[in-house]
Amino acid sequence: MEITVSQSYELPDLAVRWMELESRADGGFFLSWRWIGSWLRTTGANPLLVTAKQEGRVIALGLVARARRKRLFFTVHQLCLHETGVAECDAVMIEHNNFLVAKDAPPGLMADLLRALQKGAPSWDEIVLGGISDNVLADIQAAGLTAVTDRLSPDFGVALSHQAPSGRWEETLSPNLRA
């Protein structure tokens, strides 16, 4: 497997590669080119491109932006996955964040990607992974990194397959929740 971290890429070429991988992945809306392309165009961000290939075929893509943050008396260098690191730009946060990964990618790929970032990216102290799942958190720890959760956000959803006898899903909710 070959993992590269690149500073130079053309947006139209990235769009083609991203959408091709998207057709072979379970990324969801926030990892779709519709979201990622809009994010890049809207913010003007110029993140690093992380690409994993296996046998010449792209199996993972991700964009990490470099940022700096003050912590007491120190400046912390960060890499932010699919975020700019600028609070005003990241106010509309990404949900269900991760690298875009092919369905047939080998297990442990996230750990490999993080290790490659440790070796190949510019010097950084922290990687910011907003909107990730518990599964991604386990992969981070498998890479030998310490994960610190600075905030938890609820993930609201309704299982539409759980219908009430009348066929209206709203009736499966408590009166307070419906209100």
Nearest CA among 115, 45, 122 for reference residue 77: 122
For residues 23-48, average pLDDT: 93
pLDDT, mean of residues 13-23: 97
Comparison of pLDDT for 25 and 167, the residue scoring more: 25
Could you report the per-residue pLDDT of 44-89, keeping only the tens digit for each?
999 999 999 999 999 999 999 999 888 889 998 889 999 988 877 7
Say how many CA atoms lie within 13 Å of 158 toward its Cβ: 12
Q: Is residue 179 part of a domain?
A: no
DSSP output for 15-69:
HHHHHHHHTTB---GGGSHHHHHHHHHHH---PEEEEEEETTEEEEEEEEEEEEE
Structural domain containing residue 135: 2-150
pLDDT band for position 41 (50/70/90)?
A: very high
> How many domains would you assign to the chain?
1
**Could you report the per-residue pLDDT of 103-160, keeping only the tens digit for each?**
999 988 988 898 888 887 678 888 888 888 888 888 778 777 777 776 666 666 666 6
- pTM tops 0.85, yes or no: no
Distances (CA, A) of 80 to 20, 99, 128, 166: 24, 12, 5, 46
**Position with higher pLDDT, 9 vs 151:** 9
Structural domain includes residue 156 = no
Q: Which residue has the higher pLDDT, 77 or 171?
A: 77
Residue 102 lies in a domain: yes
pLDDT reported for residue 87: 79
User: At 11, is the pLDDT very low, low, confident or very high (cuts 50, 70, 90)?
Assistant: very high
Is 173 among the domain residues? no
User: Is residue 38 one of the residues assigned to a domain?
Assistant: yes
Q: How far apart, in Å, are the Cα atoms of 88 and each of 84, 85, 131?
A: 9, 9, 17
Q: Is residue 73 part of a domain?
A: yes
In a domain, 159, yes or no: no
* Amino acid 164: pLDDT: 60
Which residue bears the tokens 């905030």? 151
User: Taking the mean position of all CA atoms in its chain, how far away is CA 58?
Assistant: 17
pLDDT computed for residue 24 by the predictor: 97
CATH code (residue 62): 3.40.630.30
pLDDT at position 48 is 93
**pLDDT greater than 90 at residue 37:** yes
Whether 166 maps to a domain, the answer reads: no
